[in-house]
Structure 1
Amino acid sequence: ALSLSFNNLLTKKGRTLLTAFAGSIGIIGIGLIMSLSSGMQGYIDRVEQDTMTSYPVTIEDNTMDMSVLMSAMMDRDEQGEKRSYDGTVRSRAFADKLLDSIADTEKNNLTAFRKYLNSPGGQELKETASAIEYNYGITMHVYNKQAVGDKLVAVSPNGLMDELGMSDMISLRDQFMGGMSSAMPGSEVWMALPAESSLRDREYELLDGHWPENEDEVMLEVDDSGEISDFTLYSLGLMNQSELVENYKDLQAEKTEEITPGKPVAYTKDELLGMEFTLVPNSALYKKVGNIWVDESGDEAFVQEAVTNGRMLKITGIMKPRETSLGPVSTMGGVYYDRSLENWIRTEGKSSKIVKEQEAHQDVNVFTGRKFGDSAQLTAADLTPEQQMMLASLSQQELMDYMASYNDAANATYESNMARLGIFNDDTPTSIDLYADTFEDKEKIGDLIAEYNDLQQAEGNDANVISYNDAVGAMMSGVSDIINIISYVLMAFVSISLVVSSIMIGIITYISVLERVKEIGILRAMGASKRDVTNVFNAETFIIGLLSGLLGVGLTVLLNIPISMVIERMTGVAGIAQMPLNGAVILIGVELLLTMLAGLIPARMAARKDPVQALRSE
């Protein structure tokens, strides 16, 4: 049957090829959609995998449920009846819901969770995560005493933001955005390298020098072009910070219409490698006045002396983010330190007088001289003569700052004071970052955290239940769903052409039956059964269907080449149109099935032909 049909089709090559091409149009349409969908999904998968390093699952000691916040912003009063406008404008509850959702933060017991991770029960979670980073919220006080402009520059916390008057805005943004603030470029240029070298090597590439080998060695980050943002250079003191501040003040005062760009600078690697910064222990920025300790970080002379006695840090390497890195600060640059530097701050702090005093009197706040929990405001009657003399020597603004600092400290706890002084407990992190290599592993981490929560609830430890937000994961998952929905809808429309082509193949097969009536009569006269005749025409539709499927897939693969080139030129993303192998096999199978179904009726009509009448036909 295949031989007879093949020989018959060879006698009508042109019509057979046109029929096969017409039947392949639907396959080409679906194939192109499938190629773009598959390539896009592959790109999304690569982005998802790359962002696993930059955007891990982060569990903070205090977490605000962003879904509750969004619900409050979009919610309608479900208690009231739906009304149409009747000329009366009414109020709708919103502010209370919004503020309640912002204030409703979840307290996570990270001490218990860290203990669980290091126990046999948390082994699977620990193995699923490619890396686990523990953060302790240490604020480092770093200065550049050799800054451009002969001015002591506060590198960390970033003194440029205070000079520009933007520190409060950044703080408010971070508080409101919660977990999403980590996805936005921040103001700090002094950051920590990953504690695990495998994670560090996957995220960054060494360009010059070497990785930190000691706690006093730091890295400078640049981009692929070896450039670093001028904001970072201003913040590090490598460009004249005072000029930028003066330009900004002129802009605010409407003395100029735009900020004058700073003069571009260039540093050789020899100039950068060995460049020094000074780290001042947190505890060294406080001076005892009477029976309380006062923050002197605003006293320039005091800070100058503290910097003189500080720890020298030097740049020993230049690095750049790898191409797969999508970190939020990868285009800004900055200085990255080794985590061992945090341990040095803790060690130095423990030997300081202020820390020893706080440890010796754990119920008394060293910054107020009162017991913790006593939130009464400071009054003149509470001051000793020495304190009153000290305060009398201050300017009005300095006195207001002192009073504000004192009253802020009144709400502190023993733990917050120790953290302020750079003292932390390894078992009590402020946040835990769980990294994953694949999106599936990230989802599994979420499932394992849910299992941990179920276990804690079953044991009656509701306080140990973990709450976290994975905004980036939800966003990437949503993008995948959108791509799939669009692909399915387009495929449904293009599938109409498959039905049309199948009907056409059925008509072509019927015409073939009419053309081969005499051949049918000869076959029947030679002893062929009705089934044999049916098989002959089924074989013909099989060959046409197979040829259509192969032609459609082949043309799709060829068309993917220029499509990918155009998309790469427009977006910079290479190889976006890729026909998946299993998709090609499925499309060929679908085309075969449809053509075989379309040829069944003509084939049966041919089998029912009377042999005698068939032989008589011309």
Structure 2
Amino acid sequence: MLRCENIIKDYPTSEEVVHALKGVSLSFRNNEFVSILGQSGCGKTTFLNIIGGLDHYTSGDLIINGKSTRNYKDKDWDTYRNHKIGFVFQSYNLITHQSVLSNVELALTLSGVGKEERKKRAIEALTKVGLKDQIYKKPTQLSGGQMQRVAIARAIVNNPDIILADEPTGALDSSTSIQIMEILKEISKDKLVIMVTHNPELAQKYSSRIIRLSDGEVISDSNPYNEFEELNNSQIDKKTSMSFKTALSLSLNNLMTKKARTILVSFAGSIGIIGIALILSLSNGVQSYIDSVESDTMTAYPIQIQSTTMDMTSMMEAMAGKEESSNEKREDNQIYTRSFVNDVLESIASSKQNNLEELKKYIESEQGKELRENTRAIEYSYGLNLNVYNEDTDSGLIQVSPNGLIDKLGMSDMVDLRSQFMAGTSDANEVWLQLPDSNTLKESEFELLEGSWPQNYNEVVIGVDSDNNITDYALYSLGLLNQDEVVDSYNKILQGDSNEIETTNNKKSYSYEELMNSKFKLVFNCDLFEKVNGIWIDQSDNEDYIKNVVKNAQEVKVVGIIRQKDNTMSSGMLGGIYYSSKMSDYVIEQCENSQIVKEQKENKDINIFTGNSFKSNEKLDFSSLTPQQQMQFASMSQEEMMAYMQTYNDNMNASYESNLKKMGVVNLDSPSQISLYAKDFDSKEALADCIEDYNDLQEENGNSNNVISYSDMVGMMISSVSSVVNMISYVLIGFVSISLVVSSIMIGIITYISVLERTKEIGILRSIGASKKDVSRVFNAETFIIGLTSGCMGIFITILLNIPISTIVASKTGVEHIAKLPWQGAIILILISLVLTLIAGLIPSKYASKKDPVEALRTE
């Protein structure tokens, strides 16, 4: 049946040619158990791969059923592997995202066996190896011995003539190895089993023939083939072929193991489709929409001047690639450097401190009269963080402000980084917010639904959006919903569990009375520090201490419900608690009069948390403690001592100003931010001129340090709208077209990554007879699924977006149903998505089909 004639296999390298096999000549019977022994590197596995058609000999001949294979093409080898060979590998080589049953069925699928027959024969094969009750499990849910039995079932399911086993017991314990050998011995009664092994004991016990190799040559054969024995001259079966349905199934199962990535890639691929679909939907109304919102946008957002600012204009120009034109003569055959990184770094480094104390004096002086006349409100912020807790929740004691939910979700570092880069953005995560001081501004943004506005420092109101909605984010943050529930759901998502998030206590609606019954506790910054034996210790991380402080803290009552007005441009309000400036003033006053603040102010050169001067940054050294300090530590508990050491190390490099800030001390003359609310579009321009006049005045007086630098982001964006409006449709179409190309390239890259991830799977498919076209078809099927998903997702999202867009446009322009996508356009866009993704996947799929199966199987 199988004969090797003078098989030679050479592997050329950069330095020499490695002779793996040196003229091996062997013949095998139709049914026998052959063990091939030899040291590592003697050519055993290479010989096995050549017999199995995974690797090809350099010279000689492999004769199958009396037919030479010298003229075999790739498709002939594929057919030979699928119908005549069954592989059993040491590392099992199962496709992990397929079930046990699907792994065994795969070879039958390539043979064109029908679905019902496929399942029947696969179950029969699994029953033979004792795994009938495990057919719907994934390989990762099985033991090593069970996985090897699945590999054997896959090898015999197509009723091949030859079973090739490469170290089938190498990764198994002794008892499991015996089970596998018994199965192989049983199979050898009517099939040829050739096994490569390092275990001579197992070979002697179970094999009917032992062949030993050394340095690529046969050195012994315990039961050589008799040349007069007849060969079975049966013909090779029909060609193998994988249906596109099977390829889709393989790819879909693989994609489902990476649901999050698949959804993100599909969404990214759908962005271009969404853009074009929106242009088709909004082509008749986009100009009117822009015109209607321009004026409101310019007046709705204030000019915000922070104490620390950077030149965002220069940064945006650097990122956009704008630079002054150079008169330098340039050669056509030269490449020149354009500054980008340095420009961005210079913009960041150019951030400066604004003297807002001086600006506040100017605004309130006679000289600032014109500036005041062009504003409808001026708001001052002082960067005061209020400490607010809710002790009556399902999650126990929670911190409402600063938002403790952010810490529970592990997002505090990300929020801190964002707030450092873009001042003011951290407020978007808070649900404990201050009402505007200006009644004009307050009444223009909100209306009172129930109760009253805050009159005292311990009174607050709950805010909802213009549709009487309050987000579950706000409810979780305030402790009105169980925080543990959302934290658990978030952790499940991070772990890849895509099961639908279930909530058990999320009401659909609340009565005014229910919300107004909420109560909170206000804790001062200075109360977070405790003096133990004359030493101040930061107890903010001491849960028991905090609980006691909260228990005795000032109670805060909800006295009213307010709603965001419809005409407010700052849409997307999350909802939350709003307090008045009276609460801030009360907290500032209490902190100012606290013992710890007084002590620090009386000792301006001494860091009260370390006992050293602010200039000293020496670490705590117990060997150098004074007798008095040693007595203080001796009377401390271990927990108190650890808390003090933590406080000492955290404040080792602190300054007098940073200590006061940590204690909640605020200088009302020096705000951290000034917000100027313009009366209208023209007033916004006038305010910019007023700030420029103030800067000129400071320069004339020799006070250049008082010059104000700020970035009016909204003004910067809107200032260029008028020049874009006439070209908006063309710009959008061009932009979206580019995004389609970029999305296609991205999908091609993702498909290439998938090829790398599924390299072993490629080797497995080739080992059971899949052709290069079949492998290519698998990855084309993957891009087909992503393309179809991207297109459908893009159309679905567009349809959803058209609902609010039509409502908004109708409310602004009076034009009804302005955003409606024609069904013909939807079908065409889905087809475009399919075509582009298939094109993008051609190169990766071609690359996958050309992978060497032997190398692919070695991939881990």
| TM-score, scaled relative to structure 1 | 0.66
1:211 is aligned to 2:435? no
Whether the 8 Å CA contact 2:524–2:590 is kept in 1: the answer is: yes
Distance 1:286 1:404, change over 3 A: closer
Cα distance, 1:476 vs structure 2? 2.2
The corresponding residue for 2:654 is 412
Whether the 8 Å CA contact 1:283–1:349 is kept in 2: the answer is: yes
Q: How far apart, in 1, do the equivalents of 2:808 and 2:439 lie?
A: 37
Give the residue type in structure 2 aligned to 1:447.
Answer: D
The corresponding residue for 1:132 is 378
Of residues 283, 294, 314, the one that matches 2:557 is: 314
Of residues 84, 97, 116, the one that matches 2:362 is: 116
Distance 1:101 1:376, change over 3 A: farther
Matched ranges for 1:232-311 at <5 A = 232-254=474-496, 257=499, 259-261=501-503, 263-265=505-507, 266-289=509-532, 292-311=535-554
The corresponding residue for 1:171 is 416
Matched ranges for 1:145-544 at <5 A = 145-149=391-395, 151-178=396-423, 181=425, 186-254=428-496, 257=499, 259-261=501-503, 263-265=505-507, 266-289=509-532, 292-327=535-570, 330-381=572-623, 384-385=629-630, 393-394=638-639, 406-483=648-725
Distance 1:92 1:445, change over 3 A: closer
Whether the 8 Å CA contact 2:465–2:565 is kept in 1: the answer is: no
Say which SS state the counterpart of residue 246 (structure 1) adopts. Answer: helix
Cα distance, 1:411 vs structure 2? 3.7
Which structure's residues are more often helix, by fraction?
A: 1
Q: How far apart, in 2, do the equivalents of 1:382 and 1:315 lie?
A: 53
Whether the 8 Å CA contact 1:218–1:313 is kept in 2: the answer is: yes
More displaced stretch, 133-142 vs 365-374: 365-374
Superposed CA deviations along residues 472-531 of structure 1, whole A, max 9, x for unmatched, are: 122122223322566999xxxxxxxxxxxxxxxxxxxxxxxxxxxxxxxxxxxxxxxxxx
Q: How far apart, in 1, do the equivalents of 2:531 and 2:322 lie?
A: 55
Q: How far apart, in 2, do the equivalents of 1:44 and 1:344 lie?
A: 40
Question: Which has the bigger relative contact order, CA under 8 A and spacing at least 6?
Answer: 1
Distance 1:41 1:370, change over 3 A: same
Superposed CA deviations along residues 180-210 of structure 1, whole A, max 9, x for unmatched, are: x37xx72111010001111100111111111
Cα distance, 1:48 vs structure 2? 2.8
Q: How far apart, in 1, do the equivalents of 2:333 and 2:574 lie?
A: 51
Identity, % of aligned positions: 39
Whether the 8 Å CA contact 1:44–1:480 is kept in 2: the answer is: no
Q: How far apart, in 2, do the equivalents of 1:83 and 1:289 lie?
A: 75
Distance 1:359 1:572, change over 3 A: same
The corresponding residue for 2:258 is none
Q: How far apart, in 1, do the equivalents of 2:808 and 2:517 lie?
A: 42
Give the residue type in structure 2 aligned to 1:318.
Answer: I
1:98 is aligned to 2:314? no
Cα distance, 1:420 vs structure 2? 2.1
More displaced stretch, 108-117 vs 414-423: 414-423
Say which SS state the counterpart of residue 610 (structure 2) adopts. Answer: coil
Distance 1:203 1:378, change over 3 A: farther
Distance 1:574 1:366, change over 3 A: same
Say which SS state the counterpart of residue 249 (structure 1) adopts. Answer: helix
The corresponding residue for 1:73 is 319
The corresponding residue for 1:574 is 812
Superposed CA deviations along residues 512-556 of structure 1, whole A, max 9, x for unmatched, are: xxxxxxxxxxxxxxxxxxxxxxxxxxxxxxxxxxxxxxxxxxxxx
Q: How far apart, in 2, do the equivalents of 1:232 and 1:411 lie?
A: 36
Distance 1:464 1:35, change over 3 A: same
More displaced stretch, 66-75 vs 100-109: 66-75
Say which SS state the counterpart of residue 360 (structure 2) adopts. Answer: helix
What is the root-mean-square deviation of aligned Cα atoms in Å?
3.6
Q: How far apart, in 2, do the equivalents of 1:425 and 1:431 lie?
A: 13
Cα distance, 1:364 vs structure 2? 1.8
Whether the 8 Å CA contact 1:244–1:262 is kept in 2: the answer is: no
Q: How far apart, in 1, do the equivalents of 2:449 and 2:430 lie?
A: 23
Cα distance, 1:377 vs structure 2? 4.5
Q: How far apart, in 2, do the equivalents of 1:195 and 1:432 lie?
A: 13
Cα distance, 1:35 vs structure 2? 11
Distance 1:311 1:392, change over 3 A: closer
Whether the 8 Å CA contact 2:292–2:813 is kept in 1: the answer is: no
Whether the 8 Å CA contact 2:485–2:503 is kept in 1: the answer is: no
Distance 1:162 1:570, change over 3 A: closer
Give the residue type in structure 1 aligned to 2:416.
Answer: S
Q: How far apart, in 2, do the equivalents of 1:228 and 1:439 lie?
A: 31
Cα distance, 1:421 vs structure 2? 1.6
Superposed CA deviations along residues 432-459 of structure 1, whole A, max 9, x for unmatched, are: 1111121211111110000000010011
Whether the 8 Å CA contact 1:217–1:314 is kept in 2: the answer is: yes
Q: How far apart, in 1, do the equivalents of 2:630 and 2:522 lie?
A: 35
Q: How far apart, in 1, do the equivalents of 2:669 and 2:338 lie?
A: 46
Say which SS state the counterpart of residue 567 (structure 2) adopts. Answer: coil
Distance 1:209 1:81, change over 3 A: farther
Distance 1:388 1:77, change over 3 A: farther
Distance 1:251 1:486, change over 3 A: closer
Matched ranges for 1:27-106 at <5 A = 40-49=290-299, 51=300, 55-75=301-321, 95-106=341-352
Unaligned runs of 5+ in 2: 1-282, 732-803, 816-860
Give the residue type in structure 2 aligned to 1:466.
Answer: I
Give the residue type in structure 1 aligned to 2:662.
Answer: R
Cα distance, 1:406 vs structure 2? 4.1
Q: How far apart, in 1, do the equivalents of 2:647 and 2:329 lie?
A: 50
Unaligned runs of 5+ in 1: 1-32, 490-565, 578-618
Distance 1:391 1:431, change over 3 A: farther
Q: How far apart, in 1, do the equivalents of 2:726 and 2:405 lie?
A: 46
Superposed CA deviations along residues 397-417 of structure 1, whole A, max 9, x for unmatched, are: x96x97676444334332332
